Chain A
Amino acid sequence: QKEVEQNSGPLSVPEGAIASLNCTYSDRGSQSFFWYRQYSGKSPELIMSIYSNGDKEDGRFTAQLNKASQYVSLLIRDSQPSDSATYLCAVTTLSGGFKTIFGAGTRLFVKA
C-alpha cells in the first residue's frame, strides 16, 4: 500500500465548476497535511495546509481533513483555466523522523 495515494487523473472540469481532489494516507500518526500546486515545468508551491479535523477555507480553496478515515481533500470553487495544474497531496509523518511524503499528484484540467 502506498503511503499517500491520489487519483492520478486527469480530472477535467468546466470553468466555474467545483473541482474535488482526494487523498488517502496510511500512517495514522501523521501530523500535518498539505496541498501543493505544480504547474508544468515549475516547482511545487503551497496552496493549503491543515492540521486538525474539519474544514479550512482560503478564498476559493477548502481543505478537508478526516483523521479517522485517513482522508484529506481539496475543493476548488469557481474553477478557472489558470487552476489547471498537478495537485500534490503531502503528509508529514513522525515515523522515521519528521518526513513529508508526497502523493503522485492529480492532474486537473479546467476547460474554458
Chain B
Amino acid sequence: DTAVSQTPKYLVTQMGNDKSIKCEQNLGHDTMYWYKQDSKKFLKIMFSYNNKELIINETVPNRFSPKSPDKAHLNLHINSLELGDSAVYFCASSPPGLAGSQQYFGPGTRLTVT
C-alpha cells in the first residue's frame, strides 16, 4: 500500500524510560514531519526534515531527537519520558511545492506515560 506508516500504534511506558517511534513513507516525498496532538486535539509541529536535513525545529525539549537515515524514514527518539509527553504523535510527509503542499499523515502513535 502507498502510505505513511508508523510503529508502534500504541506505546505505554513508565516515566523516565526511553522510547522510539518509527515512521516510513513510500510516497517518494522529500519532506517529513513530526506532530504532537495533545488531549485538546491541538496539532503542533515538532520537527520537519527535507531530504534528510532538519529544516524546522520548534521549541521542543532536547529529550526529543529526530533521526532521518534516508528521505523515506523519520524516526523519533524520546529520552527520560515525562507524564506531559502523553499524546498522539503523527508523522506526515509532503511532496515538494513552492506554495506549500498538502500533508499526508500516518495513523498516529498513542503514547501513554504512567
User: Apart from A31-B100, A102-B45, what 5 extra A-B contacts exist at CB < 8 Å?
Assistant: A32-B99, A34-B102, A97-B55, A99-B45, A100-B103
| Shortest CB distance A106–B (Å) | 10
Interface residues of B in 8-53 (CB under 8 A from A): 35, 40-45, 48
Interface residues of A in 33-77 (CB under 8 A from B): 34, 38, 42-46, 49, 51
Interface residues in chain A, defined as those with a beta carbon under 8 Å from any beta carbon in chain B: 31-32, 34, 38, 42-46, 49, 51, 86, 88, 90, 92, 96-102, 104-105
Per the CB 8 Å criterion, the residue count for chain B at the interface is: 21
Total A-B residue contacts, Cβ distance less than 8 Å: 54
A44 with B105: CB separation less than 8 A: yes
SS of A interface (majority): strand
Give complex CA distance A43, B4 in Å.
11
User: What 1/0 mask marks residues of chain B from 82 to 114 whose CB sits below 8 Å from any chain A CB?
Assistant: 000000001000000001111111111000000
Chain B residues near A92 (CB, 8 Å)?
99-100
With A45-B105, A99-B48 in contact, is A88–B43 under 8 Å at CB?
A: yes
A96 with B56: CB separation less than 8 A: yes
Chain B residues near A51 (CB, 8 Å)?
99
| Shortest CB distance B51–A (Å) | 13
Chain B residues near A42 (CB, 8 Å)?
107-108
B44 with A102: CB separation less than 8 A: yes
Partner of A104, one of B40, B99, B105, B106: B40
Partner of A43, one of B44, B45, B55, B90: B90
17 pairs, A vs B, C-beta closer than 8 Å:
A31-B99, A31-B100, A32-B100, A32-B101, A34-B102, A43-B90, A44-B43, A92-B99, A92-B100, A97-B48, A97-B55, A98-B100, A99-B56, A100-B100, A100-B103, A102-B35, A104-B42
